Amino acid sequence: MEPRVKRLFENIEKEMDEVPDAVVIANATDPHLDYTFFYVTRLEVGRFEGSVAVLYPDGELHVITSLLEAESASKGDFNLHVFKTIDELNEIVDDLLKNAKKIGINGDELTYKMYNFIKKHAIDNSELIDISKFIKLTRMVKDEAEIKTLRKACEIASEVAELMIDFIEPGMIEYKVAAEMSYEMQKRGAIGPSFETIMAFGKNSAEPHYSAGEAVLEKGQFVLMDFGAVYKRYCSDITRTYFCGPISDKQRKIYETVAEAQRLALDTIKVGVPCSEPHIVAAEYINSTEFKDLFTHGLGHGLGLAVHDGGGLNPRAEDIIMEDGMVFTVEPGIYIPGFGGVRIEDDIVVRKDGPELLTTARKDIIEL
């Protein structure tokens, strides 16, 4: 019995009259892997291309994989089926779905090819239903094992953010600093960066989705870094903005405004609050200052096995109510085209009385 599988079916049951007889999670080829496969199997190692998980309402979990992944899969706690030939694969899946009149699929992640694979193995007159909404809701609420892993991913990123305070100097190139950060994260146990590291000097910091280019750091510039670590498949995501001194009055004002917006947003976060609330509070504050309309994105997103793990803190999320264990980024920013920007991002767990901070790097005004 896998409690995560059980919880998924419980969430389906809350809204659907008839729950599916089975849910099938099917990976195609990397990068078309459904992280829900890793969520239910808890497998920390292995790629599992072409592997399939079959989930039943009582929490029973079956995993079908090839010989290539047999060793990695043997570490899991589920019913394992290893196939050597395609005929064997077909036989196993046919057998697991022989009583399933309704089959749940993850429409958000399933490729057309794997959809047809499931359809081929479903019995006649069976129905395939998209249950991606419930998968998202289930994965949004992290259990303590997940939070422990996320805490470590965040600790690695926080340490590296602080390490950069002494490392970065005028004359350095953006991409070389980004490379140093990846190296330092991996030295601390990360398997790699959780996305392309953003290292933006000067006016480049006004582009929220810049990456790292060839700009050379000069005195008086913003230094915006947005990055994260993958640890045991779980992602952290942190942003710090430093200044290659001396800092100007305008830079200071932008920073203090973003920092206050983040404090106000964090103050709203607790169990029972709509996910739209923190964004509204942060945006209203920024819009009441001279930096009106310069906060141009949502306040935060869900975080977990994926960097954008479903759900988020934005004005459209009024129907999703915060629950204990939800993990979000909280990242207000102000961006002035041609001048530069500031973003401060932390990762938090929603708790009963307020947010539990997972990222801990310094965020006072720092002149390098």
Q: Least separation, in Å, of the C-beta of 300 and Mn ion?
A: 7
Which residue in 261, 302, 250, 312 sits closest to 283, CA to CA? 261
- Choices 22-30, 230-238, 247-255, 314-322 (CB under 5 A): range interacting with Mn ion: 230-238
Burial (Cβ within 10 Å: 0-12, 13-18, ≥19) of residue 273: middle
- Count of residues touching Mn ion (by CB under 5 A): 2
- Choices 61-69, 83-91, 157-165, 329-337 (CB under 5 A): range interacting with Mn ion: 329-337
- Choices 2-10, 118-126, 129-137, 321-329 (CB under 5 A): range interacting with Mn ion: 321-329
For residue 70, the one-letter residue type is: A
Which residue in 266, 309, 348 sits closest to 135, CA to CA? 309
Q: Which is nearer to Mn ion, 103 or 238 (CB)?
A: 238
Q: Which is nearer to Mn ion, 303 or 366 (CB)?
A: 303
Write the DSSP symbol of residue 302. B
Q: Which is nearer to Mn ion, 262 or 329 (CB)?
A: 329
What's the CA gap between 48 and 27, in Å, rounded?
7
Q: Which positions ≥6 away from 9 have C-beta within 8 Å?
A: 19, 23, 55, 57, 59
Applying the rule CB under 5 A, the residues between 281 and 310 that interact with Mn ion are none
What's the CA gap between 345 and 31, in Å, rounded?
27
Contact 110, 194 (CB under 8 A): no
Q: Least separation, in Å, of the C-beta of 361 and Mn ion?
A: 14
Q: Least separation, in Å, of the C-beta of 270 and Mn ion?
A: 21
If binding is defined by CB under 5 A, does position 314 make contact with Mn ion?
Answer: no
If binding is defined by CB under 5 A, does position 241 make contact with Mn ion?
Answer: no
Contact string (CB under 5 A) for Mn ion, positions 134-163, x = contact? ------------------------------
Residue showing tokens 């947005």? 226
- Choices 102-110, 171-179, 237-245, 313-321 (CB under 5 A): range interacting with Mn ion: 237-245
Q: Least separation, in Å, of the C-beta of 175 and Mn ion?
A: 20
If binding is defined by CB under 5 A, does position 237 make contact with Mn ion?
Answer: yes
User: What length does the chain have?
Assistant: 368
For residue 99, the one-letter residue type is: N
Residue 80 Cα distances to 60, 213, 263, 290, angstroms: 11, 46, 48, 60
- Choices 43-51, 92-100, 147-155, 328-336 (CB under 5 A): range interacting with Mn ion: 328-336
Q: Least separation, in Å, of the C-beta of 242 and Mn ion?
A: 18
- Choices 129-137, 176-184, 232-240, 249-257 (CB under 5 A): range interacting with Mn ion: 232-240
Q: Which is nearer to Mn ion, 128 or 313 (CB)?
A: 313
Q: Least separation, in Å, of the C-beta of 344 and Mn ion?
A: 11
For the chain, what percentages of helix, strand and coil (3-state, to nearest 5) are there? Answer: 35, 25, 40
If binding is defined by CB under 5 A, does position 329 make contact with Mn ion?
Answer: yes
Q: Least separation, in Å, of the C-beta of 343 and Mn ion?
A: 9
What's the CA gap between 323 and 141, in Å, rounded?
7
Q: Least separation, in Å, of the C-beta of 237 and Mn ion?
A: 4
- Choices 141-149, 196-204, 229-237, 333-341 (CB under 5 A): range interacting with Mn ion: 229-237
For residue 98, the one-letter residue type is: K
Q: 103-131 in b/e burial notation, b at 16+ Cβ within 10 A?
A: bbbbeebbeeebbebbeebbeeebebbeb
Q: What is the β-pairing status of strands 333-336 and 340-343? A: antiparallel
User: How many other CB atoms are found less than 10 A from the CB of residue 193?
Assistant: 21
Q: Least separation, in Å, of the C-beta of 331 and Mn ion?
A: 5
Q: What is the β-pairing status of strands 300-301 and 312-313? A: antiparallel
If binding is defined by CB under 5 A, does position 197 make contact with Mn ion?
Answer: no
**Contact positions vs Mn ion (CB under 5 A):** 237, 329
